[in-house]
Every structure is written in C-alpha cells, then in structure tokens.
Amino acid sequence: MAKVGFIGLGNMGGPMVRNLIKAGHSLKVYDLSEDAINFAVQAGAMATKSVKEASSEVDFVVTMVPVGSNVREIFLEDGILAAAAPGTVMIDSSTIDVGSAQAVHEAAKSAGFNMIDAPVSGGVIGADAGTLTFMCGGDKDSFEKAKPILQGMGKNIVHCGSGGLGQATKICNNMLAGINALAAAEAMTMGERLGVSPDILYEVISTSTGRSYIFETSNPMPDVCSTSPANNKFKPGFMAKLMLKDLRLSQAAAQDAKTSTPLGAAATAAFQQLIDSGFGDLDTSSIIKVIKPESK
Ligand code: NAD
C-alpha cells in the first residue's frame, strides 16, 4: 500500500481521502481549513502544517482544490515540486483551465516527475461512494503509475490523451450538461404553458429522442422523477455557481481552440443571469428560474 499526500479536503477531497484510507493507503493531509484537516484526521489521516510537508516523503500527491490559480500556487510556488522526493507521482483532480493544467504538467516534467491531470465526474455522491469517473491527461507511463491510487476513489478511469486533455474532456462534458439543463427547463416550461402536464411531458420525453441524462435524473420540474433536486427546493446536487465556473472554462477553451459553441455561450449567459439573481448555491436544475421565475 502507498503513502499518499492529499491537499484540498473540501466537499470532494474529504470523502476521497476517506476512501483511500479504506483502501489501505496511509494519508498525509493538508488544507487551509483546520476543520477540514481535523475531519480527515478522524478518518485516520495524519495532519500536516503545509503543502510542502504533505508532499514530502510520499509515493503520490493528490490535489483537489477549487481553481487553476490554486493549482499553480501549490505546485509551482515553493510547494509540491520543491518538496516531493524523486519518483513521487502527481495527480491533480481539481477542475481547472487547460492552460494552467498544461503549465503545471510542463513544470513537473522538467523537474523529472510523472504527473496526470485527473478531473472527476460523479459529484459528492460519487466521491462518497468511491464511484467517481476520472478523466486523465498525461503520458501513458504516468497514467499507469497513478491508476492504482485512482482505483481507490473511482470506478471509471479513462486515459484521454496528453497533459491537459483530462481537463479538456471534463469541460466538454460539463458544457453539455449545462446546455442540457437549460434545454430541459425550456422544454418542460413550454410544454406546461401549452397545457401538457409535467408528468406526461416527463413520461414521453424520457423515452423519446429529446431525452438526456440531465432531463431524466435532474428534471427541473418538481415531483416528475424521484432523483431531482427540484423535489427539494433545488437543494444541491451540483451547485449552479460551480456549473457557471465550468461553463466559463468551456468558453475560454472554445476561444483557444477557435471553435464555435453557440449553445455553450447561451448556457453560460443563462447561468450568469441565475447567479446574478442570487441563486448560485442552488442546484443546477434551478436554471428553470431564468425561464419560469415563479419556480420554487
Ligand atoms: P471545496 O471548496 O469544497 O474544497 C476545496 C478545498 O481546497 C477547501 O477545503 C479549501 O480550503 C482547499 N484549498 C484551497 N486552496 C488551498 C491551498 N492553497 N492549500 C490547501 N488547501 C486549499 O471544493 P470541492 O467541491 O471539493 O471541489 C474541488 C474541485 O473539484 C473543484 O475544482 C471543483 O470544480 C471540482 N468538482 C467538484 C464537484 C462537486 O460536486 N463539488 C464535482 C466535480 C468536480
């Protein structure tokens, strides 16, 4: 079993650490929040006082922090790359911009380390259950070395290509999920206003060509399916503000790739409107409030 340094113990990192401990690995952890560290210690992890301490004398370092600037800081600014022993394998599971992922890959490679970007889908439920999907970017050797650790936290572990292409895959998926959430809200609201009951709309569309995973599991109308946060006043789930973050990443990536994403742009504008109205902490399905403001 391996020695793992884990940095970023929030909604996702906390349960990921618990699953690595359950899988028999020994964990050294660090977070800016003492509460988050204490929670991991209760699960059997060893607390450290800095990024450098967490990433020294370990076989693997895993990071799970909010945004690209956090990842650049903890890797590049007298952090992980300065402290890690030769042979340490690095895994960044945060969802960040492709440019930051590639910059950190380059620096890790120059310093002689194996590294992968490995953002996840599956949310807090998947992190808890150890069923995350990992979308991995990096060379094949790094991917194979990281895989046994990822298997302690997830089920689907996919090599998407070179450094940064895990992030590219992740934002394509999340752009589509954002578009599908907005599309489901539009269709359900229009159908209802035309006089069709939401139950009938759900029954027909979820077995017809307009269906999507989002439509079927996070439908924005309450009580048409058992799994939707709309049944519980849009309690997340996946917060709308995180969806906006990912949609913005998709739009930056689209610009870099010189590719047109009119639906991605429309979904980004709609989520921006939702967040500006103060609903950022609600589930993504609350996007229906932009179409049907009286939704509760
Ligand atoms: P979170 O805000 O709950 O946790 C992030 C943690 O990182 C916090 O505890 C914070 O204190 C810590 N942190 C930030 N900067 C740090 C630093 N410099 N040193 C040490 N610790 C630091 O976020 P989360 O929901 O766990 O998400 C983490 C990443 O996973 C994000 O990139 C997010 O987009 C992605 N993600 C989240 C979900 C989800 O459903 N929450 C799903 C898929 C992917």
pLDDT in tens, 136-145: 999 999 999 9
- Which is it for strands 132-137 and 120-121: parallel, antiparallel or unpaired? antiparallel
Q: Does 200 sit in the ligand 1 pocket, CB within 6 Å?
A: no
Residues acting as catalytic residues: 170
Give, for ligand 1, the residue of 7, 29, 31, 91 to mutate: max count of ligand atoms closer than 8 Å to Cβ: 31
Given a contact cutoff of 8 angstroms between Cβ atoms, the answer to whether 288 and 188 are in contact is yes
pTM: 0.93
CATH number (domain holding residue 243): 1.10.1040.10
Alpha carbon of 64 to ligand 1 centroid (Å)? 5
Query: pLDDT tens, 146-199?
Result: 999 999 999 999 999 999 999 999 999 999 999 999 999 999 999 999 999 999
Q: Are residues 226 and 183 in the same domain?
A: yes
Q: Does 8 sit in the ligand 1 pocket, CB within 6 Å?
A: yes
Query: pLDDT tens, 261-286?
Result: 999 999 999 999 999 999 999 999 99
Look at ligand 1, atom 40, and give the residue with the nearest C-alpha: 123
Q: Give the residue from 147, 162, 177 where a domain finishes.
A: 162
Q: Give the residue from 162, 184, 210 where a domain finishes.
A: 162
Q: Does 238 sit in the ligand 1 pocket, CB within 6 Å?
A: yes
Quote the domain boundaries for residue 88.
3-162
Supply 77's token pair: 């600014």
Q: Does 9 sit in the ligand 1 pocket, CB within 6 Å?
A: yes
Task: State the total domains in the chain.
Answer: 2
**Cis peptide bond N-terminal to 161, omega within 30:** no
Look at ligand 1, atom 4, and give the residue with the nearest C-alpha: 10
Name the DSSP letter for residue 152: T
Supply 290's token pair: 């932009």
Percent of the chain with pLDDT over 70: 100
Q: Are residues 94 and 132 in the same domain?
A: yes
Q: Are residues 145 and 174 in the same domain?
A: no
How far apart (Å, rounded) are the C-alpha atoms in residues 64 and 17? 10
Given a contact cutoff of 8 angstroms between Cβ atoms, the answer to whether 138 and 110 are in contact is no
Instruction: Using alpha carbons, select from 135, 167, 171 the residue that is nearest to residue 250.
Output: 171
Look at residue 78 in the predicted model and tell me its pLDDT: 82
Looking at residues 7-24, what average pLDDT do you find? 97
Q: Give the residue from 140, 162, 184 where a domain finishes.
A: 162
Q: Which residue, chain included where needed, has tokens 């952090």?
A: 79
Alpha carbon of 70 to ligand 1 centroid (Å)? 10
Q: Are residues 23 and 148 in the same domain?
A: yes
- The one-letter amino acid code at 145 reads K
The answer, yes or no, to whether residue 124 has pLDDT greater than 90, is: no
